[in-house]
A and B are shown apart, each in its own frame.
Chain A
Amino acid sequence: MTNGIAFKIFNNLVSRPMTVRFPHEAIPIPEGYRGEHEYFIDKCISCGLCAKICPNRAIEMVESPEEIRERYPKTYPEIDLGKCCFCGLCQDICPKDALKLTKNFFLSTFDKNSTIKPPIEVKNGE
Chain B
Amino acid sequence: MGDAAEKPLGDSYELFLGPAFPGLGNFAVKLRMDGERILSAKADPGYLHRGFEKLMEYRLPIQNAVLSDRICILEALAWNLIHAEAVEELMGVEPPERAKYIRVIMAELSRIQSHIIWYGVLSVGIGFDTGFKLAFGYRDYILDLFEMTTGGRVYPAGYICPGGVRQDLPSGVVKRIPEVLRKMEEMVDLEEVDNPIIPSRLEDVGVLSLEDAIRLGATGPVLRASGMKTDVRKEEPYEVYDRFEFEVPVRQEGDGYARYLVGIEEIKQSIRIVKQALREMPEGDFIAREFRKPKLNVRLPEGEVYVRNEIGRGEAGLYLVSNGGTSPYRVKIRGPSFLHMIPVLEHLLKGAQIADVPAIYWSLNICPADLDR
Contacts of A32 in B (CB 8 A): 148, 151, 167, 170
Do the beta carbons of B157 and A33 come within 8 Å of each other? Answer: no
- Give chain A residues whose Cβ lies under 8 Å from the Cβ of B144: 27
As a 0/1 sequence over residues 49 to 62 of chain A, the CB contacts with chain B under 8 angstroms (1 = contact) are 10011010000000
> Which residues of B lie under 8 Å from residue A30 when comparing CB positions?
147-148, 172
Q: Mark B226-264, 1 if CB is under 8 A from A, else 0.
A: 000000000000000000000000000000000000000
Q: Tell me whether chain B's interface is mostly helix, strand or loop, or mixed.
A: loop
Task: Evaluate contact between A49 and B296: CB separation under 8 angstroms.
Answer: yes
How many angstroms between the C-alpha atoms of A93 and B137 in the bound complex? 36
Whether B148 lies near A89 (C-beta < 8 A) is no
A92 to B66, CA, bound (A): 13
- Among A82-113, those with CB < 8 Å from B are 85-89, 92-93, 101
Contact yes or no, A55 B151, CB < 8 A = no
Indicate if B59 sits at the interface (CB-CB under 8 A).
Answer: yes
B211, CB-defined interface residue at 8 Å: no
A89 touches B63 (CB 8 A): yes
Which chain A residues (3-41) contact chain B, with CB distance < 8 Å? 17-18, 27, 29-34
A87 and B158 in contact (CB under 8 A), knowing A18-B137, A53-B62? yes
Q: Say whether, besides A87-B157, A87-B158, A89-B63, A53 and B296 are in contact (CB < 8 Å).
A: yes
Cβ-defined contact, A55 with B170, below 8 A: no
Contact across chains for A89 and B167 when beta carbons are under 8 A apart: no
Contact of B151 among A17, A34, A93 (CB under 8 A): A34
- Are B170 and A93 in touch, CB under 8 angstroms? no
Total A residues in contact with B, Cβ cutoff 8 Å = 21
Q: Indicate with 1 or 0, residue by residue over B88-114, a CB within 8 angstroms of chain A CB atoms.
A: 000000000000000000000000000
A34 touching B157 in the complex, CB below 8 Å, given contacts A18-B137, A53-B294, A92-B294: yes
Q: Which residues on B are within 8 Å of A, measured CB to CB?
A: 59-60, 62-63, 66-67, 137, 140, 144, 147-148, 151-152, 155, 157-158, 166-167, 170, 172, 293-294, 296
- What 3 pairs across the A-B complex have the smallest Cβ distances? A87-B157, A55-B63, A34-B151
| Apart from A52-B296, A93-B293, 12 more pairs, CB < 8 Å | A32-B148, A33-B151, A34-B157, A49-B296, A53-B60, A53-B296, A55-B67, A86-B152, A86-B157, A87-B158, A93-B294, A101-B151
